[in-house]
């Protein structure tokens, strides 16, 4: 992957300024570099003051860290966004249909499009959800679809986040920071708004309330607590939506309903936006040692008296082995060819695929099927001989735990450094809200950027940062 082959979203491949960046570049050329450096420091101070931090697990220095923010926006045209939106909506509809099917008749398995063992042997498949009909027929109320770009018109889906996609608070705070610091840029560029997300989220969740709920359904955010890496986001979203932030010990089952403790006694809840994993949701049905969930909540859920967003068992839809079947899943449930392509994927559980991966390990990216946050991953072209040897042994020992993909030439977007602008690789996570009334996609999403030169790892836990994402009104 040479620098010449990499598509830069501002400068293309031929160092010619691309149209969506013209007004931004006109402004940038008039700005003094010292002023911009001061603005970057001001942005860092704003994030620190607001408390926009995250925790990194499993390390001695796992204190809260500031998420790096870059002041150069990522700019997408309205035409590009329309195509992406169509592809995202098609994919999310297929994911919901797939989840309903595998927890009911499993027609896709009967049709031979997905092997039965991919479902039954999958750790994310919940037998407790078999035959359960979630209120409104919605399984994935909030979805994050991770996209990467390799050319002017080439986008790929890298990952589907159907469990509890995080990062939306950074999308909102990035925009708020840019509006505060560079209001003149928004006068020069017609940027589609993202600040409606909290209100849209609350309305979308309320629309998914069980039948028999009040006209103004009671919504709450369930958090594992202050030590969770995404606690800032849990508190932020509850505050922005104007709903209660609760922990498991604040909830109990009262008269067949889930109720939260208040100063006036226990109040029934209609919708829980849960930010805890399936295994900790209900100690009577899942992990008996869990102190985070609500004993008996699954019984109330099965009775149709509470909405849990996202539904238990949705994790199988963002399993990286199931991801490799997404083209078949989209076609099976929509009758259409996928608008957005998957990254070609080798399933290491298959002997021929494993043999190919072992022979080409230094060229590939290898990921754990249930991994996240950039951990447990091998990037072959940048790995040492020691890393390659260790991963070779892991693959041979547990091949079904891994998938492999080619190393893509991810697009770059300039970041602001002390020496001026420099290209860095990015991905994009748009956020999707699903309710019985339809699908709403926030224009833009969270751009994550690999701040280390040449790095392809954008995760904040691995040194990545974030940018404001602009979708222009064409």
Q: pLDDT tens digits for 169-194?
A: 999 999 999 999 999 999 999 999 99
Which of 379, 407, 435 is the last residue in one of the domains? Answer: 407
Q: What is the pLDDT of residue 51?
A: 67
pLDDT in tens, 116-174: 999 998 889 999 999 999 999 999 999 999 999 999 999 999 999 999 999 999 999 99
Q: Which residues contact 300 (CB under 8 A, 6 or more apart)?
A: 253, 256, 257, 258, 306
pLDDT in tens, 254-298: 999 999 999 999 999 999 999 999 999 999 999 999 999 999 999
Counted domains in the chain:
2
- Cβ atoms 99, 310 nearer than 8 A: no
Which of 407, 431, 460 is the last residue in one of the domains? Answer: 407
Same domain, 144 and 214: yes
Cα-based distances in Å from 315 to 162, 234, 319 = 6, 19, 6
Same domain, 10 and 88: yes
More confident position, 57 or 403: 403
Same domain, 373 and 263: no
pLDDT of residue 1 exceeding 50, the answer is no
Range of the domain at 388: 344-407
Same domain, 351 and 415: no
Same domain, 448 and 467: yes
Q: How many CB atoms lie within 10 A of CB 211?
A: 8
Q: What is the pLDDT of residue 375?
A: 65
Q: Which residues contact 158 (CB under 8 A, 6 or more apart)?
A: 146, 147, 148, 343, 427
Same domain, 367 and 383: yes
Same domain, 278 and 362: no
CB-based burial label for 238 (10 Å; 0-12, 13-18, 19+):
buried
Q: What is the mean pLDDT of residues 92-121?
A: 96
Same domain, 361 and 262: no
Q: What is the pLDDT of residue 458?
A: 81
Same domain, 324 and 382: no
Same domain, 413 and 396: no
| CATH number for position 367 | 3.30.1490.270
Which of 407, 437, 458 is the last residue in one of the domains? Answer: 407
Residue 343 DSSP symbol: P
Q: What is the mean pLDDT of residues 227-241?
A: 93
Q: What is the mean pLDDT of residues 32-48?
A: 88
The reported pTM is 0.93
Same domain, 111 and 224: yes
Same domain, 372 and 282: no
């Amino acid at each position: 992957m040479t620098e010449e082959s990499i598509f830069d979203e501002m400068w293309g491949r031929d160092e010619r300024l691309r149209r969506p960046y013209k007004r931004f570049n006109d402004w940038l050329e008039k700005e003094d570099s010292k002023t911009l450096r001061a603005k970057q420091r001001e942005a860092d101070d704003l994030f620190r003051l607001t408390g926009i931090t995250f925790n990194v697990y499993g390390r001695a220095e796992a204190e809260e860290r500031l998420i790096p923010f870059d002041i150069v926006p990522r700019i997408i045209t309205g035409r590009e966004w329309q195509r992406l939106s169509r592809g995202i909506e098609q994919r999310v509809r297929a994911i919901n249909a797939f989840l309903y099917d595998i927890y009911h008749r499993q027609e896709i398995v009967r049709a031979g499009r997905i092997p039965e063992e991919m479902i039954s042997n999958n750790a994310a498949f919940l037998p407790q959800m078999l035959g359960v009909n979630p209120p409104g027929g919605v399984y994935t109320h909030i979805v994050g679809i991770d996209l990467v770009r390799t050319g002017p018109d080439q986008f790929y889906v890298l990952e589907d986040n159907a469990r509890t996609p995080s990062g939306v608070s950074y999308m909102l705070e990035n925009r708020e920071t840019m509006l505060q610091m560079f209001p003149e840029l928004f006068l020069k560029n017609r940027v589609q708004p993202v600040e409606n997300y909290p209100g849209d989220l609350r309305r979308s969740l309320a629309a998914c309330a069980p039948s028999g709920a009040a006209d103004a359904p009671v919504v709450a955010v369930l958090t594992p607590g202050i030590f969770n890496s995404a606690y800032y986001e849990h508190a932020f979203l509850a505050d922005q939506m104007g709903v209660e932030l609760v922990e498991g010990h604040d909830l109990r089952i009262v008269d067949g309903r889930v109720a939260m403790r208040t100063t006036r006694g226990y109040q029934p809840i209609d919708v829980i936006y849960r930010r805890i994993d399936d295994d900790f949701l209900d100690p009577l049905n899942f992990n008996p040692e869990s102190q985070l969930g609500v004993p008996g909540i699954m019984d109330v859920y099965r009775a149709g008296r509470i909405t849990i967003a996202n539904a238990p068992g949705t994790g199988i839809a963002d399993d990286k082995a199931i991801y490799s079947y997404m083209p078949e899943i989209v076609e099976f449930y929509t009758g259409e060819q996928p608008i957005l392509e998957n990254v070609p994927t080798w399933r290491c559980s298959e002997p021929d695929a494993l043999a190919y991966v072992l022979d080409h390990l230094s060229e590939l990216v290898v990921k754990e099927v249930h991994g996240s946050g950039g951990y447990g991953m091998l990037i072959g072209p940048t790995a040492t001989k020691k890393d390659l040897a260790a991963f070779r042994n892991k693959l041979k020992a547990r091949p079904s735990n891994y998938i492999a993909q080619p190393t893509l030439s991810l697009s770059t977007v300039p970041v602001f450094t002390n020496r001026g602008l420099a290209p860095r690789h990015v991905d994009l996570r748009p956020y999707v809200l699903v309710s019985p009334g339809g699908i709403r996609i926030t224009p833009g999403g969270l751009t994550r950027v690999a701040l280390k030169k040449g790095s392809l790892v954008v995760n904040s836990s691995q040194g990545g940062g974030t940018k404001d994402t602009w979708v222009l009104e064409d």
